[in-house]
Amino acid sequence: METPKRVGIIGCGLIAQVMHLPYLAELSDRFEIAALCDVSDDVVRACAERYGVERTFTRWEDLLEAPLDAVMVLISGNHAPMAIAAAQKGIHVFVEKPMAISAAQCTEMIEAAEAGGVRLMVGTMKRYDPAYERFVKLVPEVSDLRLVRVETLESPLEPYVAHYPLVRPASPPPADLVARWQAEEKPHIDGALDGDSDETNRSVYRNVLLDNLVHEFNMLRGALGEPTAVTYASLTPRCAAVHLRFGDAECHLSWVDLPGIARYKQEVALYGPDQRLVLTLPSPFLRSAPTRLTREGGEPGTTHSWEVQEVVAYDEAFKRELIEFHEAIVSGREPRTSGVDGLRDLLLCEAVARVHRTGAPVTNPTELPAALAARGGGSR
C-alpha cells in the first residue's frame, strides 16, 4: 500500500477548519497532515492539538523547510509567492480559489510547477459536486440552448458555520502585517486593472470577482467550455450583473450580497425549447448538504410538460477534490481544475473588470497567452 502523502497546510482559518482538515483526517490512507502554519500562534497550536500534528509554524517560509510531499495554500490572500516557492522545492501544490491576484501571477505559478515537475491544482470545489458532474453530462441533451442563467444571493457566513467547533484567533493580525499584505497585492491588482486607481473598481475586482464570482465562472466554463465574449458588466460592492456569450447562447449572471439575510441561494440554469436544467447549490459551508438537480421538459408549443428532481449523492465536493489532488500526484496527470484552468478563470475576471470599466465587449476572454499555448498549455 502506498505511503500517505505528507501535506503541509498554510492557513488554518475558516475553510481549513470547516472542510480541509476534517477531510484530510478522514483520508488518512492518502494524506498525512505533517505540518501546519498560521499567523495566529494560538490557532495553529489548537489545530495541531486537535489533529495530532507535531510541526507548527507562523511563517510559511519555515513550513516549506519541513519534509513535505504537498502543500495546501488556504489563506485568503495572495497565494502566488507560497505556491511558486513550494514548486521550486519540488512540492506539489493545492491553492484555494482564487488561484492568484492576476493572470500574470497564474502564469508564473504554472511555469514554476512545470519547472519543478509537480502538480498544481486550484480548489474550485464545485466542479467536484456529484450533482454538478451529472449536470455536465446532461448539458448535451439541451438541444438548441437559448439561455444560461446564473443567480447567486450571498448571505452572512456565521449562521452556516456557528455549529462547527472553530478555533478563532484571540486578536486580529497586527495592523502593520495587514498593511504589508495589502501593499504586496497592490501591484498585481494594478496590473490586472491596467493601472486603474479607482478604489471601487479595485474593491469589486478583489472582493466580488476574485473572492466570489470566480466560482460561477469556473462552473460555467466546466459545463459549457470557454465563453466567446463578455458583452456587458456592471459591478458594485453589493451587486454584479454580467452578460456572457457561449456560442449562440446568451448567459445572464446576477450576484447580490444580502447582508443580514441568512438565506444563501445559488442556481445555474440552462434553457432550451424542449428541456431545462436547473442546478440549485446549498451554502458551501454545510458539509455533505446535497445539491439539487431539476430536469424539466415538454413538447414545444403545447402545455404538456414534466419535471424530475434528483439528489445525486451526499458526497462532499471538498472531500472529492482532495481525492482528485491525491490521484493527480500519484498518477502524474494534471488535475481537472489545473493551473491552466485557474488561469482561464483569472483571465475571465480581468476581462469582466475591463468591460465594466470601458463598456466595450471583449471576445474570447479566456484565450491563453501565446507563449503558454505554444507549450501545450491549453489542456484543461
CATH number at residue 329: 3.40.50.720
Q: Do the domain assignments include residue 374? A: no
Amino acid at the residue 275: Q
Q: Is a pLDDT exceeding 60 seen at residue 379?
A: no
In whole angstroms, give the CA distance from residue 254 to residue 267: 10
pLDDT at residue 193 in the model: 96
Asked whether residue 25 falls in the same domain as residue 86, the answer is yes
Distances (CA, A) of 140 to 193, 275, 276, 277: 36, 11, 11, 11
Q: Do the domain assignments include residue 379? A: no
The mean pLDDT of the chain is 95
In whole angstroms, give the CA distance from residue 236 to residue 245: 22
pLDDT at residue 262 in the model: 82
Q: Is a pLDDT exceeding 90 seen at residue 88?
A: yes
Q: Do the domain assignments include residue 342? A: no
1 confidence band (pLDDT: 50, 70, 90): low
Domain region containing 64: 5-126+319-336
Contact, 341 vs 326, CB < 8 A?
A: no
Burial 201-236 (b: 16+ CB within 10 A, else e): bbebbbebbbebbbbbbbbbbbbbebbbbbbbbebe
Asked whether residue 138 falls in the same domain as residue 237, the answer is yes
Asked whether residue 299 falls in the same domain as residue 358, the answer is yes
Asked whether residue 113 falls in the same domain as residue 151, the answer is no
Comparison of pLDDT for 376 and 308, the residue scoring more: 308
* Radius of gyration for the chain, computed over Cα atoms and rounded to the nearest angstrom: 21
Mean pLDDT of 79-98: 98
pLDDT at residue 297 in the model: 92
Q: Do the domain assignments include residue 32? A: yes
Asked whether residue 153 falls in the same domain as residue 226, the answer is yes
Cell of 372: 503558454
pLDDT at residue 380 in the model: 42
Q: Given CA atoms 286, 380, 210, 91 in this order, what sign does their dihedral have?
A: positive
pLDDT at residue 156 in the model: 92
Mean pLDDT of 78-88: 97
Span 7-20, pLDDT tens digits:
999 999 999 999 99
The total number of structural domains in the chain stands at 2
Asked whether residue 153 falls in the same domain as residue 288, the answer is yes
Among residues 293, 343, 374, 263, the alpha carbon closest in space to that of 97 is found at 343
